Amino acid sequence: MEITVLGTAGSTPTKERNVSSTFMSYKAEGILFDCGEGTQRQMKIIGIPLSKITRIFITHWHGDHVIGLPGLLQSMGLSDHQGAIDVYGPPDTRERIAYAFKAFEFDSQLNLRVHEVKTGMILETDDFTVECLPLKHRIACVGYRFAEKDKRKMDAKLLKKYNVPFGPQVGKLQEGSVVTIDGKKVTPDMVSEVVAGKKVAYVMDTATCANAVKLAQDVDLLISESTYHSDMADQAHEYAHMTAQEAAQIASQANAKRLLLTHFSARYKDVNILEEDARAVFDNSQAAKDFMKIKL
């Protein structure tokens, strides 16, 4: 699993920062969270082909999170993108995307599947699940939780000890079934251990709320908005945003392993001040930079 930060600015881009977008590569999946203006150019700069995108998760329909979507879809269509593109977003997402197709002339046909989401499990594959919960913003906004499924790691020495040949029996053990070898039962726990899957929460544009904590519960990485320093808490609350310290409090309450701060107000030329603000509460906090890569 590799995460590439494509944009870390708040409502407007700066010379150093593009607006919100994050790309996650996981096996055959290319997952894009939000698609602010300039996202496809950021992908080209860092070397991620648009053909890698399989799913797009939109948190809400403020422009700094979605204006790049029409251009991205146009370019993907012109490149003869193979396979379906699944777009997930809050209520009215289907209607808003239809408006975009009316506003612009699209010269290509994409197999676009739009899913409007509110709460709960919205996607399950053999390898992972995605959940969403509503957040507390000025318009409908959802946060996402990506959870890799737990897997069994087979121990070659133990397989040999119990005379389990490599083949169908190993596959059954990996699935959690009991097999019989030389008349004796071999359970999965005898020859393997469960490896916990990685978990990532993506929480943008919200005031502090219980659902943000739920999404971040026990995650390996919480990617959270931190628009303001704690000395601007009143303004943060007026616009339904969080301070860096409030993002850190969520990470702490949720027992997250790591906090990645993003969505910074343009007033902060040096975001180290926000990182320090967060670390006063949650030490494993880091301010994101455009084109930062994180492997989990």
pLDDT higher than threshold 70 for residue 94: yes
82: pLDDT strictly greater than 80? no
d(CA 249, CA 216): 11
Q: Residue 192: what pLDDT?
A: 85
pLDDT for res 148: 97
Mean pLDDT score of the chain = 94
The answer, yes or no, to whether residue 122 has pLDDT greater than 80, is yes
64 counts as catalytic: yes
Q: Indicate if the pLDDT at residue 161 is higher than 80.
A: yes
Residue 77 has what pLDDT? 85
Please name every residue paired with 78 in a beta bridge, in sequence order, or none if there are none: none
**108 falls in which pLDDT band (50, 70, 90)?**
low
Tens of pLDDT, residues 192-224: 888 899 999 999 999 999 999 999 999 999 999
pLDDT bucket at 174, cuts 50 / 70 / 90: confident
Strands (DSSP E) found in the chain: 2-7, 21-26, 29-33, 55-57, 85-89, 112-116, 120-124, 128-134, 142-148, 151-154, 179-181, 184-186, 192-195, 199-203, 221-225, 259-262, 285-287, 293-295
In this predicted model, what pLDDT tens digit does every residue of 11-64 receive, in sequence order?
A: 999 999 999 999 999 999 999 999 999 999 999 999 999 999 999 999 999 999
Q: Which of 232, 235, 233, 226 is nearest to 206 (CA)?
A: 226
Taking residues 180-191, what's their average pLDDT?
87
Q: Check whether 68 has a pLDDT greater than 90.
A: yes
In the set 64, 205, 277, 290, the catalytic residue is: 64
Which of 74 and 222 is assigned the larger pLDDT?
A: 222
**pLDDT band with cut points at 50, 70 and 90 for residue 160:** confident
Q: What's the helix, strand, coil split of the chain in %, to 5?
A: 30, 30, 40
Residues 6 or more apart whose CB falls under 8 angstroms from that of 285 comprise 244, 247, 248, 251, 259, 261, 275, 278, 279
Question: What does the alpha-carbon distance between residue 238 and residue 201 come to, in Å, rounded to a whole number?
Answer: 24
In the three-class reduction of DSSP (H, G, I as helix; E, B as strand; rest coil), residue 176 is classed as coil
**pLDDT, tens digit (0-9, with 9 covering 90-100), for 224-278:** 999 999 999 999 999 999 999 999 999 999 999 999 999 999 999 999 999 999 9
CA distance 79 to 64: 25
Query: Closest Cα to residue 68, out of 47, 86, 50?
Result: 50
Ordered domains of the chain (ranges, CATH): 2-150+196-295 (3.60.15.10), 152-193 (no CATH)
Please count the other Cβ atoms lying within 10 Å of the Cβ belonging to residue 109. 8
Torsion of CA 38, 40, 43, 48, to 10 degrees: 170
Q: Is 106 exposed, middle or buried (0-12, 13-18, 19+ CB in 10 A)?
A: middle
φ, ψ for residue 145, nearest 5 deg: -130, 115
In Å, how far are 24, 46, 107, 180 from 6, measured between CA atoms?
10, 9, 27, 51
pTM to 2 decimals?
0.91
